[in-house]
Amino acid sequence: MTVVTADNAAVAARPKYGSITKSRRWALRWSYFFLILFAIFFLTPPVYMFITSLKTSAEISAATNPWWVSNPTLSNYIELLTQNQYLVFFRNSAIVSVCVVAITMVISVLAAFALARMKFWGSATLATGVFLTYLIPETLLFIPLFKTFAFIRDALDIELMNHWWTLIILYPTLTVPFCTWIMIGYFASIPKELDEAALIDGATWGQTLTKIFIPVALPGIIAATIFAFTVSWAQFLYPLAFTTSTDQLVLPVGIVTTLIKGDVFNWGQIMTGALLGAAPPLIIYAFLMDYYIAGLTAGATKG
Amino acid sequence: MADIAVSRAGTMNGAKGRSSLHRLMQRKSTIAFLMALPLILVIALLVAYPAAYSVYLATLNKSMERFVGFGNFTFLFGRETFWLVVKQSCLFAITAVIFKALIGFVVAHFVHNIPTKGQRKWRGMLLVPWVIPPAMSTLAWLWLFDPSYSAFNWILWQFGIDPIPWTGNGSWARFSVILVNIWIGAPFFMIMYLAALKSVPEQLYEAAAIDGATWWQRIWYVTLPMMRNIIAITALFSLIVTFANFDIVRILTAGGPIDYTHIFATWAFRVGIESGDIPLGATVSLFMVPILAVAAVFILRDISQRGNEA
């Protein structure tokens, strides 16, 4: 509120265009009014998750105001975090995401450097191909991959189905194309003079990459890392199709399939689990918001 | 390493300048190719191969022993559920994208209107739906829509309005799925449009104001033309993502009631994985390709156009 008045004062202090000032003030008021409305719409589900997570099952099923907690309790959190199963989901998710991020960044930084700076036969086609791959959704690929895994089991006796580490092989299909694409954009924006100077001084291509490109394009690398992490943390279809035993599940699928037992929904625990599962991306977002947004807008604006 | 040393030596001698230069070029492109090789392998083995394989799978019978040609396709054309799925996929994607774009545009304008100091805070708050993993936030919506404990129905009940069967009735279930889709996607549009709004030069608005343009004329003749590219490309991206969406429908309604919310991805999962008819599932998911291809062509055209401008 203080911001509004301060700004109004500043606007009023400007001498000219009285009517514009007035309409501007009204525009500002309406803007805040509608922003508050939209903020309510956008924040209701997460807030309601939090409200429910503080309730006991008895309070949830009582016919009281669902938007209010009369006896806040942390029992749902304590129960979930002492329960081995939930911690296993969390661990699987964490290992898978960290490995996928590492693999993705190595693959996409190397490839983006090669595609942005060291032209080779077919490199332009490959760059377009990378972008096209990004447009192919996982919903198109899971059935043939499912069949391929069955085939590998029969032919080579390697069981890929129902292991959490299989996801480390699968997730790069979702992260690598986009990360390569935005890294190409970031690398291409680095002035040619910089790496030419390095090459003249006798730097190898590897040195040019590690000493010049990676430090200069660090914001892009952080943005791509955040993207890879959030995508692998949130992925739902692949783990649902490829893992089934409870000790192999990752968080999203784990919460959906194990906390919902038959028709009995333990909503207090489901909401707690979902909220804790949403926490890592939210925390990263809270601290690295600018990089997060840079990565988001880079996909469509760079290139 | 030895290879490089030999090549270096060749350059030193300088006996045949041209050919050693040629070799140098070759070496550079070889390194580049090796650096891009992991990417090529990922794309070839985990994207291109499965995509091609699904075309092959679509021509087999259920037990995958016999070639049936277009048998799966003609079978699908004769099924009522298939046409329902086609209709719903298009309905969901188009409605959701239009509303995401509208809400994103409006919210971006409001955020752009307020003083710069406060913008960061609002932007940060309004992007939260996009940051939460969709599976998690859809669970929250499922709970908000719960048939017996719906928190929305409680509010309606306070105003004396009858409870709404959010996921129980065909039309309402469709509405709910679209609503959740919009809730997740609108913040992305907001961020993109906000970035675009910032890039419109202030002088254009000043000129418009001097010419006596109303706010509506400013939007129609200044803002929209300047943002046309971003609007188009964001909508196309979102169309692809929404059309191929899986999480929301799967968690919210699982395709029900009586298939009234199934879309290509969820139906392909039901048919291909849960019912075990892999070829038919592959066929269903292949029907997403035409729309994805059209969107991809437009996006690529737009990107290459901007490449030429630069």
The 10s digit of each residue's pLDDT in A150-190 is 888 888 877 888 888 888 988 998 899 889 988 888 888 88
Same domain, B24 and B113: no
Residue B155 and residue B19 share a domain: no
- Nearest-neighbour CA in chain B from A196: distance (Å): 14
pLDDT at A229: 92
Distances (CA, A) of B33 to A62, A110, A133, B48: 65, 10, 19, 19
Q: In the 8-state DSSP scheme, what is residue A14?
A: S
Indicate if B173 and B143 belong to the same structural domain. yes
Work out the pLDDT band at A261, boundaries 50, 70, 90.
low
Question: Which chain A residue is nearest to residue B25, measuring alpha carbons?
Answer: A120
Of B29, B149, B186, the CB nearest to A120: B29
- Report yes or no: B190 and B126 within 8 Å, Cβ to Cβ: yes
Residue B251 resides in a domain: yes
Top residue of A140, A183, A285 to mutate, by most chain B CBs within 10 Å, is A140
| Confidence (pLDDT) at A303 | 33
- Report yes or no: A292 at the B interface, CB cutoff 8 Å: yes
Q: What is the DSSP string of A73-115?
A: --HHHHHHHH-HHHHHHHHHHHHHHHHHHHHHHHHHHHHHHHH
| Mean of pLDDT values over B39-56 | 88
Q: Are residues B134 and B260 in the same domain?
A: yes
Percent of chain B with pLDDT over 90: 9
Q: Is residue B120 a part of any domain in this protein? A: yes
Tell me, what's the pLDDT at A12?
47
Q: Are residues B136 and B38 in the same domain?
A: no
Contacts of B113 in chain A (CB under 8 A): 27-28, 31
> Where a domain ends, among B10, B34, B57?
B57
**Which residues in chain A are contacts of B264 at CB distance < 8 A?**
139
Q: Inform me whether the C-beta atom of residue B157 falls under 8 Å from chain A C-beta atoms.
A: no
* Interatomic CA distance for residues A141 and B46, integer angstroms: 8
B63 belongs to a structural domain: no
Mean pLDDT of B221-248: 85
Would you call A53 an interface residue with chain B, using a CB distance cutoff of 8 Å? no
* Number of domains making up chain B: 2
Q: In terms of CA atoms, which chain A residue is nearest residue B57? A: A144
Which of A38, A176, A282 lies at the smallest CB-CB distance from B131?
A282
Query: If you search the block for the tokens 């309402």, which residue do you land on?
Result: B172
DSSP codes joined into one string, chain B: -HHHHHHHHHHHH-TTHHHHHHHHHHHHHHHHHHHHHHHHHHHIIIIIHHHHHHHHHTTB-TTS-SB-TTHHHHHHHT-HHHHHHHHHHHHHHHHHHHHHHHHHHHHHHHHHHS-HHHHHHHHHHHTHHHHS-HHHHHHHHHHHT-TTT-HHHHHHHHTTPPPP-TTTSHHHHHHHHHHHHHHHHHHHHHHHHHHHHHTS-HHHHHHHHHTT--HHHHIIIIIHHHHHHHHHHHHHHHHHHHHT--HHHHHHTTT-STTTT--HHHHHHIIIIIS--HHHHHHHHHTTHHHHHHHHHHHHHHHHHHHHH-
- Does B120 share its domain with B263? yes
In this prediction, residue B4 carries a pLDDT of: 45
Q: Is residue B296 part of a domain?
A: yes
Phi, psi of A90 (to 5 degrees): -60, -45
> Got the DSSP string for A150-177?
HHHHHHH----TT-TTHHHHHTHHHHHH
Instruction: Flag whether residue A240 sits within 8 Å of chain B, measured between CB atoms.
Output: yes
Indicate the residue of B118, B188, B306 with minimum beta-carbon distance to A296.
Answer: B188
Q: How many residues does chain A have?
A: 303
Helix (H, G, I), strand (E, B) or coil at A69: coil
Q: Does B252 touch chain A (CB under 8 A)?
A: no
DSSP class of A251: H
Residues B43, B78, single domain; the answer is no
Q: Is the pLDDT of residue A69 over 50?
A: yes
Among residues 120-139 of chain A, which lie with CB inside 8 Å of chain B?
A: 120-121, 123, 126, 128-133, 135-139
Residue B98 lies inside a defined structural domain of this protein: yes
Range of the domain at B32: 2-57
* Residue B164 shares a structural domain with residue B222: yes
Range name among A23-32, A33-42, B171-180, B241-250 with the lowest pLDDT average: A23-32
- Based on the fold, state whether residues B261 and B155 are members of the same structural domain: yes
> Residue A87 pLDDT > 50, yes or no?
yes
Indicate if the pLDDT at residue B11 is higher than 50: no
Q: Is residue B198 a part of any domain in this protein?
A: yes
B15-40: per-residue pLDDT in tens? 445 566 566 655 777 788 888 888 88
pLDDT higher than 90, residue A97: yes
Residue B285 with chain A: CB contacts under 8 Å: 139-140, 143
Q: How far apart are CA A82 and CA A86, in angstroms?
A: 8
According to DSSP, residue A203 is labeled -
Question: Are B17 and B150 found together in one domain?
Answer: no
Share of chain B above pLDDT 70, in %: 89
| CB-CB neighbors (< 8 A) of A286 in chain B | 124
B201 occurs within a structural domain = yes
Q: Is the pLDDT of residue B165 over 90?
A: no
**Same domain? B35 vs B79:** no
Strand, coil or helix: A260? strand
Q: What is the pLDDT of residues A216-255, one digit of tens each?
A: 888 889 989 998 999 899 999 899 888 888 888 888 888 8
Return the SS3 of A64.
Answer: coil
The tokens describing A249, both together, are: 């599940």
pLDDT confidence of residue B256:
74
Query: Considering B32, B57, B82, which residue would you say is the last residue of a domain?
Result: B57
Q: What's the CATH number where B266 sits?
A: 1.10.3720.10
Q: How far apart are CA A161 and CA A165, in angstroms?
A: 10
Q: Which residue of A has its CA nearest to B181?
A: A42
What band does B1 get if pLDDT is binned at 50, 70 and 90?
Answer: very low
Task: Look at residue B133 and tell me whether its pLDDT is greater than 70.
Answer: yes
Boundary residue ending a domain (B57, B87, B102): B57
* pLDDT score at A300: 55
Are the beta carbons of B46 and A169 separated by less than 8 Å? yes
Give yes or no: residues B199 and B244 share one domain: yes
